Structure 1
Amino acid sequence: MTRDWHEWHRHYDDPESGLSRRLVVVRGALQGLLDAASAPVRLVSICAGDGRDTIPVLDSSDATVSGVLVELDPELAERARSAAPAGIEVRTADAGTTASYADACPADVFLACGVFGNVTDADIARTVATLPLLLTSGGQVVWTRGNNVPLDPTSHQGDPAELVRGLFADAGFEEVAYVADDAAGFRVGVHRWPGPTGTPPPDVQTFDFV
């Protein structure tokens, strides 16, 4: 079976859904990062859907932002493309390979929302380990993880978001923020890369949706 991503996105139409509540937190995290920026921001968002995590925030922000949104589904990508502000490119491409966005890195802000609940633990580890190469020094990652266990592809015992947090810590990231909403079934994290600016790998497969 494969997930119907158009049907999945319709849950956003319900303001009480877990997705809608997660969206508020993700947008708030991104808004906070843009508000704190003292220089132009380079942004990359993978598995960006129709851009609703990012585009409304960019429209309302005074920050100067450029960057790339990557979405494989052509219809969702076109929705994002039609709404994207100047400086934001939307690519219809596989976000599981750095070939789709390496030329837009290193990024100051990197969004990986709706990713970690759809890939294996090994792919999460591979993705997190690659992120330092995709970020500027001080660059920050906004990520999400649901707690829909055992339906999600994980062998981790307990809250799967704790696996993600541990992987970021092991990779040398600093945790900036973490929100866990058990009722809505989501977690949102923000992690900062304190190391040197990375050299983006041109073609590394980090994950495949399962």
Structure 2
Amino acid sequence: MPKDWYEWHELYNTEPTLQQRLEIVREFIAYSLNASPNGNIRVVSVCAGDGRDLLGTLKNHPRKQDVSARLVELNPQLVERGRATIETLGLAKQIEFINGDAAIANNYIGAVPADIVIVCGVLGHLADDRELKRLIDNLSYLSKTGAFFIWTRGHTNGIPYSDNVRKILFASQFEEVNFQLTATGDMAVGLHQYIGENLPQPKEQQLFVFSGVPSKAR
């Protein structure tokens, strides 16, 4: 089993569920870029890994020059790999990778409110529904009105955990734009749009608590 998140990311080379999830996430990112108003598009990615979802989408996207993004990731090896990709794409002046705790609100100062918020591989690592609601409530700080929110949630033992995520998002003024399951049926990817008002200050500095370990990624 993977010992750390850098090693876990190597599973993208072999695991169909992760490959299918990544394909859908990139599809949703591309849709969000296309649907964003003319001009600058602000993107934030929470627990960004090596940024392969956003960076892989931008590689050939016609609006990549419109994007300014901040990706936040705690693992320094993943950040280093992501920064190398940014350099290769010629986007170093537009995209910054922060090596820090994605749960801390201060790491997003100057990058929010965003037009697109990516929170993939996170929701399955929250302790309970109270913590899930806490994160979703704090999205009102990260998101401007009309922002797109892209998320993932694994299903285990036949339990569709994504159903609860969708209910809480609906109650928190997020309208569903698209929702797909991977062909393996055990991973959900959602695309929602925020119709509420942006909060200029976070409700709390700790946006959520990430409690997962690589061997139990979901």
**Fold shared, TM-score > 0.5 on shorter chain:** yes
Instruction: Give the drift of 1:17.
Output: 1.6
Report 1:20-31 matches (<5 A): 20-31=19-30
Q: Per the alignment, in what secondary structure is the counterpart of residue 60 of structure 1?
A: coil
More helix by share: 2
Between the two proteins, the alignment pairs up a number of residues equal to 202
What is the CA-CA distance between 1:185 and the residue it aligns to? 1.5
1:82-127: CA deviation from partner (whole Å, max 9, x where unpaired): 1122300000000112121133100000000010011112221101
Aligned positions of 1:144-163 closer than 5 A: 144-149=152-157, 158-163=159-164
Task: Give the CA deviation at 1:57.
Answer: 1.1
CA 1:200–1:149: 2 relative to 1, 3 Å = farther
Query: 1:1-210 counterparts in 2 under 5 A?
Result: 4-14=4-14, 17-39=16-38, 40-63=40-63, 64-84=66-86, 85-86=91-92, 87-121=94-128, 122-149=130-157, 158-181=159-182, 183-201=184-202, 204-210=205-211
Work out the CA distance in 2 between the residues paired with 1:149 and 1:117.
14
The answer to whether the 8 A contact 2:20-2:183 is kept is: no
Q: Tell which deviates more after alignment, 106-115 or 181-190.
A: 181-190
Determine the C-alpha separation between the residues in 1 that align with 2:99 and 2:58. Answer: 20
Q: Secondary structure at the match of 1:99?
A: helix
The answer as to whether partners of 1:43 and 1:108 remain within 8 angstroms in 2 is yes
Counterpart for residue 154 of structure 1:
none
SS at 1:191's partner residue? strand
Q: Which deviates more from structure 2 when the two are superposed, residues 195-204 or residues 80-89?
A: 195-204
TM-score, normalised relative to structure 1: 0.89
TM-score (norm 2): 0.86
Is the Cα contact below 8 Å between 1:136 and 1:197 reproduced in 2? Answer: yes
Percent sequence identity over matched residues? 37
